Amino acid sequence: MLKHVVCWKIADTDSAEGREKIERIVSGLQSLVGTVPSIRALSVGPTVVTGPNHWDLGLIVDFDDEDGLEAYQVHPEHQKVGGYIRSVVQEQATVDLIA
């Protein structure tokens, strides 16, 4: 099982606008389940603990293998969601691991 893990920092997460951005990202990523065939499981949501070493939002997606991850990366619906995410995040950290 390949796990694709991504964390993001978003400006103004305490404001209504910041919370709306997070909600839109969560909704967009959740919409990929059933749309991108290679997704085996997807978990996404905002952090429950805040602090200087915490990210605002995280994603974990399970795939059978690297081919599944590649199919996800290039899928048109993922590209749409990713475009929005890139437009609102300040920082991103990604790791892909076998678990």
Q: How many domains does the chain have?
A: 1
Mind listing the pLDDT tens digit for each residue in 10-49? Answer: 987 778 899 999 999 999 999 999 999 999 999 999 999 9
Pick from 74, 5, 89, 85: nearest CA to 41: 5
In 3-state terms, what secondary structure has residue 21?
Answer: helix
Domain of 27, in residue numbers: 2-98
User: Residue 91's beta-bridge partner residues?
Assistant: 9
* Cα–Cα distance, 19 to 48 (Å, whole number): 13
DSSP-derived secondary structure letter, 65: S
What CATH code is carried by the domain that includes residue 30? Answer: 3.30.70.100
pLDDT of residue 50: 85
Asked whether the whole model's pTM tops 0.85, one would answer yes
DSSP E strand boundaries for 11-56: 41-46
Mind listing the pLDDT tens digit for each residue in 47-76? Answer: 999 888 899 999 999 999 999 999 999 999
